[in-house]
């Protein structure tokens, strides 16, 4: 395999040598670390967040665990006894912390990885202000939370009110008495509208396309079809869509009430932003004090830029989790594995491929794989019920 080489040997002599570096300690990163540990593969986990919890620790307080749009337990330890009325940031933060302790996943934090580039001897050089690591393979599990997407519209800079993104949403209390425009057609936009409308003077919902509400159950077949759509994009080297973006918005009781009350009465996207609100080409105007952009996120992969993994279409082409342009790089939680259950499965798949790569490089005997195959059987559905639940504190 011929990799693109852009070497920077400055500080490489001081880099800590390790077989695998995992970047990120959310669902995808912890799942990957779990499988690496079970396989006995030397690795280090680097996380830029100040504490356990992945991106969940930054969610707004009013997003309680009962409102979470699907949360699948990490491999080996169920999330049991969680109070649905507690903030999801607390519930999942405690669960991740307990998980790290249970399986001895010594996550180094805060470590902000700034670049991954080709190092000496066919290794990868992972750079950060906290130090450097020299790795034979890398699992990137950085998710999307650090790259909120802000669309640009004419006149945006003239708006006299407040603009903020879901990534900085503080909960509804700060919008009491305000006129609020919520932009976006996803789950977060709907959640924001339903709670902000209870305290705001007025809310307006705008989206580029009519929202797709989903009535009825969402079974395994529908899940596979949704994942296949996302998978096809990343196989073509296009920027991934989230799995949620192709599943539609669930029609639960709260959403039905929002539709009936008019809170979820959607308008088409405005054409420009004014000093006092937004305007449409047909002359319609809405005055606002706040524009809340619930416009999603993009994959946080800028630190991989020195490896030149992107395709002309703007995305990183992957087969499974492996980057097509560099088999040493696996992206877990990217594209079709962005859901919590997808991240779990992808973590195990990435580790299996990496183990094969390392075995090929070091010419390990076939017997070395017997241990890995045995460990994989422990993650079958039949054995899942033997895993101990997480001990979560309650308020």
90-130 pLDDT tens trace: 999 999 999 999 999 989 999 999 999 999 999 999 999 99
Res. 77: pLDDT tops 60 = yes
More confident residue, 364 or 220: 220
The mean pLDDT value for 330-353 works out to 84
121-137 pLDDT tens trace: 999 999 999 999 999 99
Which three-class secondary structure string do you get for 303-330? HHHHHCCECCCCCECEECCEECCEEEEE
Res. 243: pLDDT tops 90 = no
Residue 197 burial by CB count (10 A; 0-12/13-18/19+): exposed, middle or buried? buried
161-200 pLDDT tens trace: 999 999 999 999 999 999 999 999 999 999 999 999 999 9
Q: How confident is the model at residue 6 (pLDDT cuts 50, 70, 90)?
A: very low
Res. 331: pLDDT tops 80 = yes
Report the C-alpha gap between 170 and 188 in whole angstroms. Answer: 13
Q: Please state the separation of Cα 107 from the chain's center in Å.
A: 18
Question: Structure pTM?
Answer: 0.85
Is the separation of the CB atoms in 107 and 43 below 8 Å? no
Res. 5: pLDDT tops 90 = no
| Residue % of the chain over a pLDDT of 70 | 83
Q: How confident is the model at residue 395 (pLDDT cuts 50, 70, 90)?
A: very low
Q: Please state the separation of Cα 385 from the chain's center in Å.
A: 27
pLDDT of 3 reads: 41
pLDDT of 202 reads: 98
Q: How confident is the model at residue 383 (pLDDT cuts 50, 70, 90)?
A: very low
Task: Single out the residue of 126, 130, 141, 129 nearest to residue 19, CA to CA.
Answer: 126
pLDDT of 378 reads: 43
pLDDT of 4 reads: 37
Least confident of 239-243, 289-293, 353-357: 239-243
Which three-class secondary structure string do you get for the chain? CCCCCCCCCCCHHHCEEEEEEEECCCHHHHHHHHHHHHHCCCEEEECCCCCCCHHHHHCCCCCEHHHCCCCCCCCCCECCCCCCCCEHHHHHHHHHHHHHHHCCCCEECCCCCCEEEECHHHCEEEEECCEEEEEEEEEECCCCCCCECCCCCCCHHHCCCEEEEHHHCCCHHHHCCCEEEEECCCHHHHHHHHHHCCCCCEEEEEECCCCCEECCCCCHHHHHHHHHHHHHHHHCCCCCCCCHHHCCEECCHHHHHHHHHCCCCEEECCCEEECCEEECCCCCEEECCEEEECCCECCCCHHHHHHCCECCCCCECEECCEECCEEEEEECCCHHHCCHHHHHHHHHHHHHHHHHHHHHHHCCCCCHHHHHHHHHHCCCHHHHCCCCECCCCCC
Tokens representing 112 are 């902000």
271-303 pLDDT tens trace: 999 999 999 999 999 999 999 999 999 999 999
pLDDT of 12 reads: 53
């Amino acid at each position: 395999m011929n990799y693109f080489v852009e070497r920077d040997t400055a500080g490489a002599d001081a880099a800590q040598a390790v077989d695998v570096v995992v970047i990120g300690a959310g669902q995808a990163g912890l799942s990957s670390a779990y499988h690496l540990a079970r396989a006995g593969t030397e690795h280090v986990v680097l996380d830029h967040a100040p504490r356990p919890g992945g991106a969940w620790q930054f969610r707004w307080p009013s997003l309680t665990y009962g409102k979470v749009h699907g949360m699948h337990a990490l491999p080996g330890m169920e999330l049991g006894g969680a109070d649905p009325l507690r903030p999801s940031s607390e519930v999942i933060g405690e669960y991740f912390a307990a998980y790290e302790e249970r399986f001895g996943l010594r996550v180094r934090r805060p470590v902000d990885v700034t670049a991954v580039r080709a190092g000496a001897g066919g290794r990868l050089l992972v750079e950060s202000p906290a130090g450097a690591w020299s790795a034979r393979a890398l699992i990137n599990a950085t998710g999307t939370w650090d790259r909120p997407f802000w669309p640009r519209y004419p006149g945006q800079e003239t708006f006299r009110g407040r603009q903020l993104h879901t990534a900085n949403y503080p909960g509804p209390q700060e919008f009491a008495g305000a006129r609020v425009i919520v932009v976006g057609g996803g789950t977060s936009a709907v959640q924001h509208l339903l709670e902000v409308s209870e305290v705001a003077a007025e809310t307006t919902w705008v989206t580029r396309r009519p929202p797709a509400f989903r009535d009825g159950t969402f079974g395994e077949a529908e899940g596979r079809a949704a994942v296949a759509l996302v998978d096809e994009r990343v196989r073509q080297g296009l920027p991934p869509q989230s799995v949620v973006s192709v599943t539609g918005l669930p029609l639960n009781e709260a959403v039905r009430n929002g539709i009936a009350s008019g809170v979820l009465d959607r308008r088409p996207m405005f054409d420009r932003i004014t000093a006092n609100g937004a305007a449409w080409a047909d002359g319609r105007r809405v005055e606002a004090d706040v524009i809340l952009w619930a416009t999603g996120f993009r994959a946080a992969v800028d630190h991989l830029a020195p490896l030149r993994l992107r395709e002309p279409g703007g995305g990183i082409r992957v087969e499974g989790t492996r980057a097509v342009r560099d088999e040493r790089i696996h992206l877990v939680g990217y594209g079709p594995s962005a859901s919590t259950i997808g991240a779990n499965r992808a973590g195990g798949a990435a580790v299996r491929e990496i183990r094969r790569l390392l075995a090929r490089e070091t010419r390990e005997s076939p017997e070395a794989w017997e241990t890995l195959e045995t460990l994989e059987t422990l993650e079958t559905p039949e054995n899942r019920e033997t895993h101990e639940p997480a001990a979560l504190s309650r308020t």
